[in-house]
Structure 1
Amino acid sequence: MSSINEISEVYALVPHVKQTKATWAELVKREVKNGKLKVAACAVYSKKEENNVQPNAQCICGRIAREHSFNGDPKIKFRGAQKWLPKLTIETDVTHYGQSKSGARFIRCDVEKNTFETLFQIICDDVVNKPKLIVSCYGGAQYFSMTDILEREFMNGIGQVATTKDVWILTTGLNSGVSHLIGQGIHRNTLLNENTWKPIVIGMSHWGTISKSTREALKQQAPSNRSTDSQHTLTFCSENERNSLDKHHTHFLLLDDGRLNHYLGDDPRSKFVKTICNQTKCYAVTIIVEGGWNTLEVIQHDLDAERPVVIIHGSGRLANVLGNLLEKIRKIDTVTKNDVKKELDLCSSLYCFDQANEEQDIEMIQKVLAPKYRRYLSVFKLDRDVSLTNTIFRAVLDTQNDKEDYKELLELAVTWNCLDGAIDIFERIKSSKVGSSNVNIQDGVRKYYPNLFEKALKENRPLFVDYFLRQYYSPLETTAFVNYRDKEESNSTTISSENYDFEEKNCVRYALEFIVEILYKNNDKESILTHPVPRSLLELDDLYFKLIGPYAKSFYRRKKRTLKRFCEGLSTFCYPSPRTVLKLNGAESETEILLQIVSQIPLPSVYECEMTYGKQEMLRDIFLWSVYKGYIDMAFVLLLQIKSRISAALVAASMAHRLSLMSHNSYLRSIYMEHRTALEEYATACIDICYKHNERVACELISREIPLFGNITCMQAAIASDNIPFVNTECFDQFLHQQWYGHLDSASIKTIWEIL
C-alpha cells in the first residue's frame, strides 16, 4: 500500500481550478446594461443653458441652478413649482458606484423606479450568500447617550448578532447616531474574536443627506471620471464630518429621488426588507434605539408586516416611553391617552410643542401598542434579560408559533445560540403530540437531537451540547447512522443477533467517520498547524500520538505504532513517485495522469476499530477535537461527561501545549497556552481534593492506567507535557515518597519504571 505522505503528495500536485467571482463594479455594470438600474436627476435646470439663467437661482430640488448635472432639455415650466413632484426628474443610467479602500461597496440609484430585487441580487452575488435573518437597527439619527453599561451590552450584543452566520444588518449607514454605534460594535467584535462569518452591514440612506465632500468623493468613482476601471478605490471623508458614511459598513445603498437635503421616509427600507423576505423566506427583526417621532413610522411598518420589534429600554426618548408603557400594561390591556401623556411628560426631550401634532403622535403610540400587535413587541432591559442577543433571537422565534417547520426553527435556534427558544420549540412539539395514538411524545422530540447535536458541535455551541448530553443523548447516534438504521428497519422484517451485531459495528463506523470526515476535515482555520489535518483513522491515531506523547498506546489499533510506522515507510517502495510516473508515461495531459494515479491508490475508506468503542470513547474523541479546535468552553462541557476526568484534563493540557508550539502566529500560541493553563488548574484542583479526601486512593489514582486514553497514567501525561503545577502537588510528592520506601505494590512500581 502507498503511504499517507505519498498520497498527500499526489493530491498536492493536482492543479486546482480557481473560481473567480465578479467584482462589485462588474455586477453593477451588468444590471445597468440590462436596464434595471437607473438614477433620478432633477431636470428643472440643465447645463445646456447655464449661460442663459441666473447661476445662483434656487431650485425646488434644493440645489442652485449651476449645481445641476442634467445635460438635456430643461423642464422650464416647473421652475415656479412650490411642491416637489417625481415628474420634475428624468431617468439616467447609474454612474456612481465603486469600492472604498476599506472594502465597502456603494451605489447611487433611483429611490422611486428602481426595483429592490436588483439591489438584493447584486449584494447576494457579491457576498455569495443569502441571509436567514435581516436585522434593521434604527432610532437615534444624531447624538444620543446611553449609560456605559447599556452601551457596552448593546455593542457586544449587536456585534455577536452581526457575526452570526447568515445574518445581515441594515442601518442608515451614517457616521452618527445608532448606525455609527453599531459600526463600532461590529468592528470591535470582529477584532476581539476569531469569527468565520464576515459581517454584512448595509447602510441605506438618501444621497442628498450625506455631506457635500462625501458626495464629491463618490462622484470620482463615475466611469467617466476615472482612468482605470476596477483597481481605483477611494477613501471616505473624515469620520468626524457630519453626515459622512460610517467606515465599518460593508455596503451602501444611496437612494436618490433628485432632491438635496431631504430625508428618506421608511418606505424604501420597509420595501427592501419585504423583498428580501419574499425572495429568501428569511426572518426579519427591527431594533429601536432611542428614536424620535419619525421612528414610529418604522415600527408601524414592521408591525403591519408582522415583523418583530425589539425596543432597547433605557436608550432614551421614544424607546423609554414605549418600554415603560409595555412594562406597565398587560398583553390584552389597551393604552389610554392619559397613560401616554404621563410618559411623555416624563420625557422632556420628546415634548411636542404643537397641540395638533401632539394629539396625532399620541394616537400613533396608541396604534403601535394595540393588543393585536403586542406579540410582535419585545423590550430589552439590562437588569432583567440575559443578553441582547438572546432577546433578539427569542423575539424572532416567539413570533413563529403558528409555523410547524420545527426542524428549520430548531436549526436556526442552534445557529443563533438561543437555547431558550429551542426549549420552547421542544415544548411545542410535545404539546402537538399529546393525544396522538401510537406516538411516544419523547421520541417526537429526540428525533431532532442527532442533527442538532452535530450542528452545535460544528458551530461551537457549548450550551446546546451540554443540554443534549444532559438529556441522555448518546453521541454514537450520528445522523448518518440513524438514517441507515431507519432504512434497514423499513426493509427488514426479522430481528436476529447477527443483525444486532452488524448494526453495532455500523454504529461505530459511522461514529468514526463523523469524527474524521465531519469534524476534523471541515477545519475552518487556515494553516493552524505545521502538519496536515487527519484524513483517515490512521492519521487521526498518529495525530494523537504527536499531541499526547509517547506513553499513550493506539486508541483504535491493537498493533504498536512502531510496527505501523515501519509498514507505512516500507509501502513507499511499492509505488513509484508520481513525478517518475509522469516521466515514464509521457502523458499529453499532466492533470489527466495525476488524477489517474490518485484514483488507483487505495485509500483507507473503511473506519474499522479493533478496540472497544462506546459512548465514552466517542465523548473522548469529541473532547480531544474541541481541544484541537480551541473550543475551550465546549471542552469543559464534554469533560464533565467523561468518567476519567483528571486524566482527560491532563491529556488535553498536553495537547494544548503541543498545539501552541505548532501554531504559526503568536495569537494562536497565546490562546492554546491559556487553554493549557485552565486544564492544568482543573486537573490539579481535582487531585488536591481527592488527596484531602483519601491519600492512598489518590496516589493509586495517578498511577493507574486509563484504558480510555491508551493506558496512559496521570503521571505519564503530566511528565510528558512538563505539567509543573500537577507535579508539585502533595499527592505526586507522596507517591514518590511511598515508592522510595517500598510502600507501593508491584504493579505501581512497574508503572514507575515505565515512566522512567
Structure 2
Amino acid sequence: MCVSLSVLLGCSCCSTVDETLENVSRGLASRMKKEKSPWAAGRVGDIDFIGTSKTRGKFVRVRSNTDPVQIYQMLTEEWGLAPPHLVVSLVGGDELAQMKPWLRDTLRKGLVKAAQSTGAWILTNGLRFGITKHLGQAVRDHSLASTSSKVRVVAIGVTPWNMIHNREALLTSNYNKVDEPTAYKPQDLPHGSVYSLDSHHSHFVLVEEDPNRPGATSEMRVKLLKHISLQRTGYGGAGSFEIPVLCLLVHGEPKILKRMYKGIGNSTPWLILAGSGGVADILVTLMNRGCWDMDSVHELLLDTFPNAHHSTDISNWVKLIQKILDHGHLLTVHDPEQESSELDTVILKALVKACKSQSQEAQDFLDELKLAVAWNRVDIAKSDIFNGDVEWKACDLEEVMMDALINDKPDFVRLFVDNGVNLGEFLTYGRLQELYWSVSEKSLFHNLLLKKYEEKQLLLGAARTPGPPGHHPPETGERKPRFTLYEVAKVLKDFLHDSCKGFYQKIPTEKPAKGRLFHSQKNLPELEQRCEHPWRDLFLWAVLQNRQQMANYFWAMGPEAVAAALAGCKILKEMARLESEAESARSMKEAKYEQFALDVFGECYSNSEDRAYALLVRRTHCWSKSTVLNLATEADAKSFFAHDGVQALLTKIWWGAMTTDTSISKLVVSFFCPPLIWTNLIKFSEEEFDNRNNREECVELDSLDTEKALLMTDDDDPLDSSSGDPAAQSCASVWWRYLIRRWRRFWNAPVTVFLGNVIMYFAFLFLFTYVLLLDFRPPPPLGPGAPEIMLYFWVFTLVLEEIRQSFFTDEEMNILKKFKLYVEDNWNKSDMVAISLFVIGVSCR
C-alpha cells in the first residue's frame, strides 16, 4: 500500500512505483485510514490550526507532475466540495505587506462577497503573507458575520511544499493515529523564503516541486485551472455550463508575466486591479494609451522595478507584455476607486467580454447567459447579452428558460419572454411534468404529491394479481418518485374541486363506464403535446410552491385575471391550513390574490357595470367553465363579495326580473294571492329589451348564459321567439304571452324560491306538530290518518333530495367517494341525523 502511492504523496521513502491519484479518487483514501497505513498521516488528512483562531482544514501532498484531473476529483469527490460556479485565481500581491484601505475593502466586500454569492472557489498560494494573508482575514470576517453555517467561502491554497514553515509537522505527527487531525500552529513570519499556512483556508494542495524545475507549482495551478474550465456544472440539477475561470491580478512582480501568458494561451480571462502597483499598473497604463512602443515599455519596467538591470530579462518581459496585450479581449481593468460596480458584476462582464470577442453566435453566449442566471444578474444579461448584438431565437433560450423556472428567477423568465420565448410553443406537458419533478422535497406540496403517488401505487398494486401470503413487491430503493400530471391533478382537485375538472386529461372519445374513474394514467395527455393554457399551468405550478413573485408574473400575463386570482387565493388558503412551518404559512396567508381580484374587478366595474356583471357570471375557459362567483364562493373571498359591484349583481340575481326595490310585504301578499302578479303591485324590469338590441356587444362574453343569469329571461321560450309580424299577431296571443311571462318570472326569481322554501319549512313543522299532538292515531287498521300519510310522503321526498345530492352529481368519482364528500358537509350530517331519527321513530311506531 505504501509503495502504490509514492508519486501521489511525494514521499521519498516510498517512491519505487509510479501511480497517480486515481486510486484516491476511487475511495482508496478512506480505506487507507481504516487500515491505519503509516504513510497516511501527514500526507492526506485533516489539519487543526491551533492558536487564536482554531480552525480545521483538509490537505493533500502531491508531486508537481500529478495529473490535475485527480486533484479535482479529490476536491469534489473525496472532500465533498460542490462543483463551483466560478473559480477565481488570485495572482500576485506577495509583496504587499501593508495593504491600502481600498484594496482591503475590495477583498473583503468584493472578492469574498462575490465568491459567497456566486458559489465560487478562490485559489491562492495558501501562505500567511502578502495579499493571501489579507484575503484569509476577509474570509474570517465573513464567516464570523454570516449567520448561516451553509454559507461559506471556499478558499483553496495551492502551496509549494518547500515554502511551508514547520512542514515537518505535517510529515511526522500522528503516524500511528491516522484518524486524528494534524496539529499545526501558524505564525506571522518576516519576509523570507518560508511562511506558515494560512489558517483561514479550508483546503490545501501541497506541491513538492522538482528541484530541477523551479516554478512547477505555478504550472500545476495553470493546468488545474485549465482542467476545471473544461468541467461542467449546473444549479438545480444536471450540469449545464462550463465552469468559468478568471485570474485576478493584484500588483505582481515581472515573473508573473510568464504565468500570465500561459493562462492567456488557455483563453483564461484576466481581471487587472488598477492602482495596486507592479505589473498590474504597467498593463493598465499601456492599455489606456492604446498605442506604445518597446522603449516606453522598457522605461515603465525600469521605473516600476528599479532593481531590474539585466537587459536580457527586461527584453523578455517586454516581449511577454506585447504578447499579452495582443489578447486585449481577455483583459479587463477594474479601478475600485473610480468605479462603483460590485466585483461580481465586473467579473461577469469580463467573462462576457472574452466571449464576445470570439463569436457573435447565440449558442456561444449560452454559458455566459446561464452563468448570469446562476448569479441572478438580470441587469448584466440585459446590458451585455441582450443588447442587440446577438440574434436570439426562441429555441436558443429553451434550456435557460427551464433553468430560470426551476431556480425561481422571475426576472429572467420575464426577460426571456420579452426576447422571443413563446410560452404557447415552449411549454409542453412533458416540460410541465419536469417542472413538477423539481419540487423541493422539504415542501408541503411535495408531501401532497407523494401522498397521491402512494395512493396510486396502492391502487395499481391492488389491480395486479395478488401473490402468495406474505409476498411483498420488490423495493425500489431510495429513488425519488417521478410524479406525473395525474398526481398534480389530484392535488388540484382537493383544492379547487369542480373548478379544475378535466385538468391534464385527454378529451374523451367515448363515454367512460359508469362508476369508473375517468382520470387515470391512460387519460394523461401526450408529453410532446403543447399545453392548452400555458400561463394558467405555470401560474398553478408557482402558486403550489408558494413562489409568489413568479406566480404574480404569470397571473398578470395570463387570461381571466379575476378568476385566476381567486383560484390562487383558494389554493394558498388551503395550503396555509395544512402547512406546519409557521413562516411558510404566514407567507401564504399574506398573499394578496384576493386583493388582486378585487382591484381588477373594481377597475372593470368603474368602466362598465354591465360588462363587470357579465364578467362575474360568464363561464371561464381556463377554469372548467366555472364562474367567478363560483370561485369566489370556493375561496370564501369575503372582501370580494363585499364590493359594491358584486353586491349589486347578487341583489339583481336575487330579485330576478323584479325590480330590486320591491318590498317584502308585496312579495308575501303576491305569494299567497298569485293573481296579484298580473297587477301593478309587483314591478318587473324591462331591461331585457335593451339588452337584446345590444346583443352583439356581448357575444365574446357568452351572452346567452350571461343574460339568463342576470335577467332570468328565457330566450328559448317559444312564445317569445315566435316569428311573424307583431301587427299580425292577435291580441289574445299577446295577452297569453304576457300572462305566462309574468308568472314564470315571479316564481323563478331566487327570492320567491327562498320565500317558498321558508314557508314550506314552517308548513312541514306545523304538519309534524299537528300529527304528533292532535292526530296521532293507533296502528292499522285505525291509522294512520291522511295528515300522517302526507307527512311520510313529505319525508320521503326529503330523502330523495338527499340521495340526489350525494350520488347523482357531476363528480367523476366512485360511489364511495361521492358519499364521503357528501358526509363531510356539516349540514348534510344534520339532515342525516334528522332523517335517521325519523325512521327510527316510524319503526318504533
* TM tier, smaller: 0.5 to 0.7
Structure 1 position 134, deviation (Å): 3.7
1:624 pairs with one of 522, 528, 540: 540
Structure 1 position 375, deviation (Å): 0.8
Structure 1 position 604, deviation (Å): 1.6
Distance in 1 between the 2:137 and 2:423 partners? 44
2:521 pairs with one of 601, 604, 622: 604
Question: Which consecutive unaligned segments of at least 5 residues does structure 1 have?
Answer: 1-28, 44-91, 346-350, 431-441, 479-509, 572-601
- In the TM superposition, what are the counterparts of 1:575-614 in structure 2 within 5 Å? 604=521, 607-608=524-525
Distance in 1 between the 2:580 and 2:523 partners? 33
Distance in 2 between the 1:716 and 1:307 partners? 61
**Is 1:203 paired with 2:157?**
yes
Instruction: Report the counterpart of residue 24 of structure 1 in structure 2.
Output: none
**Is 1:285 paired with 2:245?**
yes
**Is 1:255 paired with 2:207?**
yes
Structure 1 position 178, deviation (Å): 2.9
1:159 counterpart letter in structure 2: Q
Instruction: Report the counterpart of residue 89 of structure 2 in structure 1.
Output: 136
Q: Deviations over 1:172-194 (max 9, x none)?
A: 4568423554676699899499x
The answer as to whether partners of 2:248 and 2:272 remain within 8 angstroms in 1 is: yes
Structure 1 position 334, deviation (Å): 3.5
- In the TM superposition, what are the counterparts of 1:109-508 in structure 2 within 5 Å? 109-126=61-78, 127=80, 134-138=87-91, 145-146=101-102, 152=109, 154-162=111-119, 168-173=121-126, 176-181=133-138, 191=148, 202-206=156-160, 222-226=174-178, 229=179, 232=180, 245=198, 249=202, 251-257=203-209, 266-277=218-229, 282=242, 284-288=244-248, 290-293=250-253, 296-297=256-257, 299-311=260-272, 316-317=276-277, 321=281, 325=285, 328-330=288-290, 333-334=291-292, 354=307, 356=309, 367=321, 371-380=325-334, 388-400=343-355, 401-402=357-358, 407=363, 409-410=365-366, 413-417=369-373, 424=385, 445-478=393-426
The answer as to whether partners of 1:105 and 1:252 remain within 8 angstroms in 2 is: yes
Distance in 1 between the 2:109 and 2:588 partners? 27
1:709 pairs with one of 620, 623, 631: 623
Structure-2 change in CA distance of 1:157 and 1:666 (3 Å): farther
Distance in 2 between the 1:684 and 1:152 partners? 45
Distance in 2 between the 1:98 and 1:119 partners? 14
2:64 counterpart letter in structure 1: E
**SS across alignment from 2:176:** helix
Distance in 1 between the 2:184 and 2:495 partners? 48
Structure 1 position 520, deviation (Å): 0.8
Distance in 2 between the 1:199 and 1:631 partners? 28
Q: Deviations over 1:647-691 (max 9, x none)?
A: 3344334434444454454454455556x25x5665555455555
Structure 1 position 512, deviation (Å): 1.9
1:709 counterpart letter in structure 2: W
Q: Deviations over 1:570-609 (max 9, x none)?
A: 99xxxxxxxxxxxxxxxxxxxxxxxxxxxxxx98255239
Structure-2 change in CA distance of 1:125 and 1:723 (3 Å): same
1:96 pairs with one of 39, 43, 47: 43
Structure-2 change in CA distance of 1:511 and 1:299 (3 Å): same
Structure 1 position 621, deviation (Å): 1.1
**SS across alignment from 2:77:** helix
Q: TM-score, normalised by structure 2?
A: 0.53
Residue correspondences, number: 571
The answer as to whether partners of 2:248 and 2:273 remain within 8 angstroms in 1 is: yes
Distance in 2 between the 1:384 and 1:140 partners? 21
1:334 counterpart letter in structure 2: W
Question: Which consecutive unaligned segments of at least 5 residues does structure 2 have?
Answer: 15-38, 49-53, 190-194, 233-240, 454-482, 662-705, 713-748, 752-826, 828-845
**Is 1:747 paired with 2:709?**
yes
Distance in 1 between the 2:200 and 2:644 partners? 57
Distance in 2 between the 1:707 and 1:670 partners? 32
Structure 1 position 119, deviation (Å): 1.7
1:97 counterpart letter in structure 2: V
**Is 1:644 paired with 2:592?**
no
2:135 counterpart letter in structure 1: V
Distance in 1 between the 2:175 and 2:339 partners? 54
Distance in 2 between the 1:525 and 1:338 partners? 63
Which deviates more, 546-555 or 381-390? 381-390
Higher relative contact order (CA 8 A, sep 6+): 1
Distance in 2 between the 1:686 and 1:361 partners? 74
- Please say which structure displays the higher CA radius of gyration: 2
Distance in 2 between the 1:252 and 1:209 partners? 13
2:248 counterpart letter in structure 1: I
Structure-2 change in CA distance of 1:37 and 1:353 (3 Å): same
Instruction: Report the counterpart of residue 432 of structure 2 in structure 1.
Output: 515
Q: Deviations over 1:507-526 (max 9, x none)?
A: xxx9223312x111233444
Structure-2 change in CA distance of 1:647 and 1:171 (3 Å): farther
The answer as to whether partners of 2:112 and 2:139 remain within 8 angstroms in 1 is: yes
Q: Deviations over 1:601-645 (max 9, x none)?
A: x98255239xxx976612221222133344444334433431233
2:620 counterpart letter in structure 1: I
Alignment root-mean-square deviation, CA: 5.9
Q: TM-score, normalised by structure 1?
A: 0.58
The answer as to whether partners of 2:62 and 2:205 remain within 8 angstroms in 1 is: no
Structure 1 position 118, deviation (Å): 2.9
Structure 1 position 367, deviation (Å): 1.6
